[in-house]
Structure 1
Amino acid sequence: MTTETKVIIAGAGIAGPILATFLKLKGYNPIVYERVEGLAHVGLSLCMQPNGLRVLALIPGFMEKLIGQTVEKMQHVSFLQDETDVLVDVDVSQLSQYAGFPIIGVRRSVFNQTIIEVAQSHGVEIIFGHQLVALKQEVDSVEVTFANGAKDTASFVIGCDGLHSNTRVCLFGSESAKFTGLTQTGGVSPTPDVLKAHPTMLNVYADGAHMVAYPVNDRETSWAITRREEEAKESWRSIVEEKQNRFKEGPWSQWPFGAGELVKSAHTNIKYGLYDRPALESWHSGRVALLGDAAHPTSPHLGQGANQAFEDIYHLVRLLTKYNPDAAPPSTELLGTIFSEYEQLRIARTTELVLGARRQGEGRVLQGVEACKARNAAIKGLFAGEAYASGRLDFYAHPFTGESEI
């Protein structure tokens, strides 16, 4: 099946290349524009969970190209007043038998490189150094203007351009990203011996700080410590050496369970503030729609940011295939039907998860020993019995619940 139905995708981060690959497989002609001049080694890692992996596995041969480390164990531990306590110790090595897929940690930069290569191998054109700044909608097309003065026209446009989405600004106006009051400082370090036997996702709870760590390959572990601090720009780039050294000598360098070793041995550290935006009532206008962080940016405490973007992609592509099976140039009315149903499926779920991630972050970083002890007791209770495991399996059943695969 061939078609000249051109689709412009803004953003070659995590969502854009995956969406473009699916659209190419369905007979569209997607072109991805990315604002930066080339792939940058920014950010730390991503936690690929069964619901997101279920979507990625629909791309032929993709799972064989995925570079990461399967998590076999989850530990929640406490370090208060120099006393340690193992709150939860769960074997998740058999998760794929129940949920279809495991949990896999990946380096963000490595994953980004992989998905761009996959998209290009399917014939997707990716153009760097082009930042979308304006949209002009016509009866049957959209003209896109870029910061460098270049222009291009497509049948419709999907904004996958992240937290600072210019596509979102063009559709709904400028708004400020809201600082959540939390920062993260993290890095990638050689995996400590104590965490090597069983690749482990580690959560360390202390007074005023929380660490999450998980392996991203068979040699390295990514980690991040969340604290309440003054606003720090979400640059996702390495902090200066002097500040890195001070951080490595801080109290977290003495944490047990391999956590302190991770802090002290990091190759580099990055620091960033955690932000979100108000929920939108609609993700589209005319022939333009938003997807992923452009539509529903979230803090990272549930590890669902990328996975929810993949759920978005699944449903958007499924609906395009359902209502426009021959991939012909769609009318604005048809796109309105598709985009509206896409929103109806996705806004409630993503809004719930954004709020859940915010609550998770607030609940993890508590001040005062008594408050921390109450938190620890709640964590133990959460994992007790079968309710939690059953709930996670229901959660991981998305995005296919009640729908056929694309």
Structure 2
Amino acid sequence: MKVTVIGAGLGGLAAAIALRQQGIDTQVYEKARGLQPIGAGLSLFPNGLNVLNAILPGLADSLIRVGSQAQRVNLRKSNGDLIAQNQLPLQEQYGQPMLNIRWSQLQETLASVLPPDLIHLNYRCVGFDQTDSGVEVQFENGETAQADVLIGADGIHSIVRQLLVGDGSPRYAGRLSWRAVLQYQHQLLPADEVTIMTSIDGKIFTLIDVGDGQIFWSAGALSERENLHKQATEVKSHVLETFAGWAEPVEAIVTATAAEAIVERPIWDRPPLESWNKGRVTLLGDAAHPMVPSLGQGANTAFEDAWELAQFLAQQPSIEAAFAHYENSRIPRTQVIQARSAFQGSRSYDTDSETFLRGIAEQARASQAEFEEWLYEYGRG
């Protein structure tokens, strides 16, 4: 079997590793000209770390050595008053920590596991044709790739999804975000801690230690329109203005951040799909089930997808059977996490998803303890 993966993000690289571990010939095609660092950090939870070790023994352990294992979360008002201070006993309860790490560090680690000639850069997918015997992928540079299976792991703006489903652009979730990673120290930011600051007008500012003396900060604010600024200096000025008067270290860390390092993005999501595949083509990660980032489960669930899909392709008697098992296993779980993310992120889905919400609302509204046990026990041996 030969598999083509579109997208060298976290899900696509994890899928390639998982497939190769099953002895499946896999090639990855990425539209970017290089795997460039981006100003973001992310959290890996026990379910994501467990499944990374299942994909390749020791993979999660290597990440733990370079990231930050969060020990405590501090919740504060915008004026600095402490609302709550919670210890994080995830290691004791689920066998893995909450690991905070730079996005680019994680991507580099996953890419380093794969042979360099397996990842093809500057290949923008523009189409595919499939027959009973295979699928041909077309790229903007005029080249093609032949495979038995095509996996779209190309994110929330997935071209594979559009060619497969044709459901248009993602939906704006009514919130703009800003983020950056920088080398930074402050007495209010101890190592291995997360600080979340909130206000009653829909603004939030999060500060996370991601290891090696680096801090990842992200900010969000409600906005009716998703208009973005054209100049980096305008972006930085807007963040300082939006969070003016907030307690330290908000102003200090934004001021210390180079304007060019701040990434400005709208928050998008999509309604859940009833099916992720047609013929020899399927979806994975954000291309299949993008979520608002309130639970930090985007990468974690993409790793789950990668592991299960590789298992099914290796073990089932046909591609059709493998895809059927993949959907039956993954869609119900990711729908619950999508809905929980939406509820927790104060994001209501449109009425066209009423049936979806009604069907899983009970699980989506389960108590936090019940939900966390269901979520984090995944993949635990």
**How does the TM-score come out when normalised to structure 1?**
0.81
Matches within 5 A, 1:4-403: 5-58=1-54, 59-66=56-63, 67-79=66-78, 82=79, 84-92=80-88, 94-120=89-115, 125-208=118-201, 209-232=203-226, 240-247=231-238, 249-250=240-241, 252=243, 254-256=245-247, 258-267=249-258, 268-324=261-317, 334-362=318-346, 388-389=368-369, 391-399=371-379
1:146 aligned partner, one-letter code: F
Q: Secondary structure at the match of 2:243?
A: helix
Q: Distance in 1 between matches of 2:158 and 2:232?
A: 31
Partner of 1:331: none
Q: Distance in 2 between matches of 1:263 and 1:141?
A: 51
Partner of 2:350: none
Q: CA RMSD in A?
A: 2.3
Note closer, same or farther for the CA distance 1:192–1:307 as it changes in structure 2 (3 Å cut).
same
Partner of 1:380: none
Q: Distance in 2 between matches of 1:34 and 1:145?
A: 13
Q: Would you say the 8 A contact 1:231–1:273 is kept in 2?
A: no
Q: Deviation at 1:231?
A: 3.4
Q: Secondary structure at the match of 1:130?
A: coil
Q: Distance in 1 between matches of 2:69 and 2:332?
A: 30
Note closer, same or farther for the CA distance 1:239–1:216 as it changes in structure 2 (3 Å cut).
farther
Deviations 1:77-117 (A, max 9, x none): 223xx4x432221122x421211110111111222122111
* Structure whose CA Rg is larger: 1
Partner of 2:354: none
Note closer, same or farther for the CA distance 1:224–1:197 as it changes in structure 2 (3 Å cut).
closer
Q: Distance in 1 between matches of 2:39 and 2:271?
A: 23
Q: Distance in 2 between matches of 1:19 and 1:291?
A: 9
**How does the TM-score come out when normalised to structure 2?**
0.86
Q: Deviation at 1:259?
A: 3.4
Deviations 1:359-385 (A, max 9, x none): 32228xxxxxxxxxxxxxxxxxxxxxx
Q: Distance in 1 between matches of 2:138 and 2:242?
A: 49
Q: Deviation at 1:192?
A: 3.8
Q: Extract unaligned runs of 5+ from structure 1.
A: 325-333, 364-386
Q: Distance in 1 between matches of 2:84 and 2:370?
A: 17
Q: Would you say the 8 A contact 1:233–1:272 is kept in 2?
A: no
Q: Extract unaligned runs of 5+ from structure 2.
A: 348-366
Q: Deviation at 1:174?
A: 4.7
Q: Distance in 1 between matches of 2:67 and 2:298?
A: 17
Q: Would you say the 8 A contact 2:157–2:169 is kept in 1?
A: no
Q: Deviation at 1:198?
A: 4.2
Note closer, same or farther for the CA distance 1:247–1:29 as it changes in structure 2 (3 Å cut).
same
Number of equivalent positions? 356
Deviations 1:308-363 (A, max 9, x none): 10111122122223325xxxxxxxxx212211121111112212222222232228
1:246 aligned partner, one-letter code: S
Q: Secondary structure at the match of 1:302?
A: coil
Q: Distance in 2 between matches of 1:246 and 1:170?
A: 39
2:62 aligned partner, one-letter code: K
Deviations 1:147-181 (A, max 9, x none): 11111111111110111111111211251211111
Q: Deviation at 1:253?
A: 5.0
**Which 4+ residue blocks in structure 1 deviate beyond 4 angstroms?**
none
Q: Would you say the 8 A contact 2:71–2:193 is kept in 1?
A: yes
Q: Would you say the 8 A contact 2:191–2:209 is kept in 1?
A: no
Q: Would you say the 8 A contact 1:13–1:112 is kept in 2?
A: yes
Q: Distance in 1 between matches of 2:369 and 2:314?
A: 34
Deviations 1:225-264 (A, max 9, x none): 1111243378xxx973421442354252543363343323
Deviations 1:99-152 (A, max 9, x none): 11101111112221221111227xx71101111121111212111111111111
Q: Would you say the 8 A contact 2:39–2:181 is kept in 1?
A: no
